[in-house]
Chain A
Amino acid sequence: MSNLKQKINRESIKRTFTGTGANKVYSSLFCIVCGLFIGFLIMVVLSPKNAPFDFTMLITGGIKFYGLNGFGNILSMFAPLLCAGVGVIFAYKTGIFNIGAAGQYTLGAFGALVFALKLNQHWTVCLLMAMLFGAVWAAIPALLKVFCKVNEVISGIMLNWIGLFFVNWSLQTYLSSIINPGDSYKTWKLYVYNASTGKYDFTKPLISKLPNMGISNLGDTFSIAFIIAILVAIFAFILMEKTTFGFQLKASGYNRHATKYAGMNAKKNCILTMIISGAIIGLGAGLFYLSGIEEWSATISSALPQVPWNGIIIAFIAQMNPIGAVFAAGLLGVLSTGATATTQSVFPKEISDLITSIIVYLSGLTAITMRFFPWIKKKLSRKKVSEAEQPLIVDANKGGK
């Protein structure tokens, strides 16, 4: 009896480590390790002397340098990254590559900042508005795709830039009161500003700033954001895996025509997916700008924000699994925080973007890496088999003679 139990246990454990899911994890880990290794080589090229020390700084998220604040920084970077990643994953399940994430994120940031700084609303309202703005911007490519058959990748790219220029135009003209002219056209910080002294009172955050739940020793940017983000990831996971709607989404991702034939409303599903995806990405933008990590800069009109692009990276490292996205976002959070702690004159903070872009380039090769591990296993097992069988063959040959 106990023997059987052991056998079952062993079987199930074996399956956990050898199934398709496990292969996905292995191939992602393989990409991450390779990406980090290439990143390390690039750092060695930049400066052989400092590379080992700064590389450890990078992959530990600069904990040694920042202390507890560093942990808070990682968590506050993690939240928007996770939201962006989950948003991209959600759309990809239906077969839509949401490259317009950057535009939805930009509009989400716009919504959050307008309601925070212009209308002085509570942070919950600001986050809802971020979601709404993101959703509206995501609905445009979906509508164009459904009714005009426009490829969502191309329309997404166009909308990214339209969104960026629209937001920066708005902030420089009719919404110029939320820009701080003294701070090179960045938006105001989320603290009470004393006009007579010209300084912020950092003990008094605005009601639109995300609350830190009474934990003050994790730095200024630490907030409730990471809890919201994890809840969103769980929500997305349940919606995709446990509901009829989620099943329809995935089915239309596998075969659009079959779902149409089976009586599912493909058009409605496509639009709904994009709206949810855009809302999640917009929420990510809200979490980023309302936790005060950075201020929006209205003059840099030539560069889209980096976080949504990292969201695409996270989605592919996580191989389109929201729970995997939690770990991938954690990795990117650690790297991007760690990159600010390295010796900036030798290793600029963009080194983390460099490494993550290499990782995602490699993860584009999942077709190979997914085949790679079963292939190795096959090789190993074949070796064993052939060793076991060899004497028999030899015997048979002898018999023949």
Chain B
Amino acid sequence: MLGWELPPHHSGGLGVACYEMCKHLADSGVDIDFVLPYTTEHRTSFMNIIPADNQTIDDFKWSGGVYDLKSFPSQDSDCTVDMPLDLTKQHDLYAHNIVKIAKCGEFDIIHAHDWLTFKAAIVAKRISGKPLIVHIHSTQFDQSAGKKGNPAVGEIEIVGLKMADRIFAVSQYTKDVLVREYAVPKQKIKVVHNSVNMQIDIPRNKNLYEYLSIMKSNGYKVVVSVGRMTIQKGLTHLIKAAYRVISIDSKVLFLLAGGGEQKEELIRLTASLGISRNVIFEDWVKGDALKDTFKIGDVFVLPSVSEPFGLTALESLNYGTPVIISKQSGVSEVLDNCFKVDYWDIDLLSEMILGVVNHSSLAKEMLKNSRRECENQSWYKTARNMKNNYEEMLGVT
């Protein structure tokens, strides 16, 4: 399996999804060599993690990640720059290093996650002659919110999709994007939904957000969103909805956690609407802080313009917060007991936010039923689906 990141060194849902699916694939009897473009300590026993290069995670991180389309130049940059490498070079380096792994490794299938691994995957396929699955967690069409995006990335995606023997898409929504925007024949694509395993959470006495806890005990309600702050995530729509909500009920606070190139724009927008008092920008959060971000919310909103899946919505349910999700998301295929709005429908979004935060009976009923839907949607099922696909491709039954 070719990946670009794994927790704890991940910048988004891709790393988490890879980790969880591998764990469950391993449980169902699949042996996995997971190739990463960097060296780091991983305490995972269920699969074999192979570094393609001996660079450290810090060197690697400098290059940017799978979500940094803009830093990926469309033409060859001149090669005089010393280390650290830019994203293009990382991409080439990965493909270069894969050669020796592909030559000596024993494997039946190559399974590659998202565009940065595609070049390496194609090399591996050429050398080994093994079938290739490309797994689409996100496309540049999504990341540029339906606009043109970076043609160099688009080209890599197209080549990867063409060279693949089979394609996994994280949702029907993503499958439709691949068919519509990339002209992929739909028979070639299998939908394998992401999932979340409902965990029993060990309660702690205090939420790390002390301010918000105090405000909540004074009758305030909290709306939460977690994610990268980029055009894809539709946060400008959420802030406009926040303005409407606050004009009706000034005791609603918004907590936006995450980072990204759009963050400053969002802060400016908030200020210009005069609602900075009610909108709290938090940085990337991890571990207990991330749990507490979900937990402090009375409702979680995923307002994405184009979201291949949207794992955060399921994580939120896991931590006991009901969700409002955009219709332009993959997760809307697996949840019915939530509000679904078009990302641009600010009126309806604000209406639904007020509806959930002001009616605990609604919030409880919705949460209870959507958690049940989550439980029906386990990684175990997804892994079984993937394993069936492997077996089908290898002619094993």
Do chains A and B interact in one complex? no
Which residues of A approach B to under 8 Å, CB–CB? none
